[in-house]
Amino acid sequence: MRKVFDFENGELLLINKPHGWTSFDVVTSVRYAIKHHTGRKKIKVGHAGTLDPLATGLLLICTGKFTKKIIQFQNLRKEYTGTFTLGATTPSLDKETEIDQRFDISHINEELIRDTSQSFVGKIEQVPPLYSAVWIDGKRAYKYARSEEKVELKAKFVEIKSFDITRIELPEVDFIVECSKGTYIRSLARDFGETMKCGAFLSDLCRTRIGEFKLEDAFELAEFKEILKEI
C-alpha cells in the first residue's frame, strides 16, 4: 500500500464516492484531510467528472499541479453499472423525487429489452435531465426544476459504446454501459423506457471505470483518511 504522497506537485487519487454524498462533498473532505496532514492552509483539489449524490463509484480527485489535467481526465470514456426500474417515471429520472406516473409493463419481455438496449449503441442525441448541473442562462438546471420553473434543455450528441443487460427481474433491469463524456445515465433510463412505451427511471448507479482507471483500485474515503494519519 502506498505511503508517500506529494500533494503539492500533484496526485491523482481514486476515491469510491459514498452514496448520498455530492462530488463536491468528497472534494471538500479530501481537501480538509490533506490540509490537516500537511499543515498547509491552501491546497488545490478538484474532481474530474461529477457523480450524482445517489450514485456511488469512481471519482478521480486531482491535487496540486495535477488539477491542470482535470479536463484531460474528464474526456475519458466512462463505464457504469446500475439498475433501471420499468413501469414508472420520476421528475428527476432517479429516486431523488417521487414517482409521478405509472405504466403497464405486461408487454415487456427479454427480447424487447435486449433489442432496445442495442438500439442506443452508437452516437445518439440526448437531452440532459432537468435535475442536473447544466447551465441555462447563468443558472443551474436543477434550480429551475426545484422552483418548478419550466425551461427547455437542448439535446446534444453523446456516444454509447456498449449497452449490455446483465439481469432481468421485472420491473428491474440491470445493465453495464460504456459511454463518452457528457452522457447522462438518467437520461438513458428515461429514453430506454420511452422507447419501450413503459416508462423507466434510474434506481441504482455505480461508476466502475474512467479510461483505464478502475473502481477496484480506489480508496474508500475513510481508508484514505486513515492512511494519512499513519504517514
Pairing of strands 56-63, 172-179: unpaired
Rounded distance between C-alpha atoms, residue 230 and residue 211, angstroms: 30
Q: How many CB atoms lie within 10 A of CB 9?
A: 10
Rounded distance between C-alpha atoms, residue 4 and residue 11, angstroms: 10
Residue length of the chain: 231
| Contact assessment for residue 6 and residue 62, using Cβ atoms and an 8 Å cutoff | no
Residue with cell string 417521487: 98
Active site residues: 52
Q: Give me the DSSP letters along 81-142.
A: EEEEEESEE-TTSSTTS---EE---TT--HHHHHHHHHHT-EEEEEPPPSSS--EETTEEHH
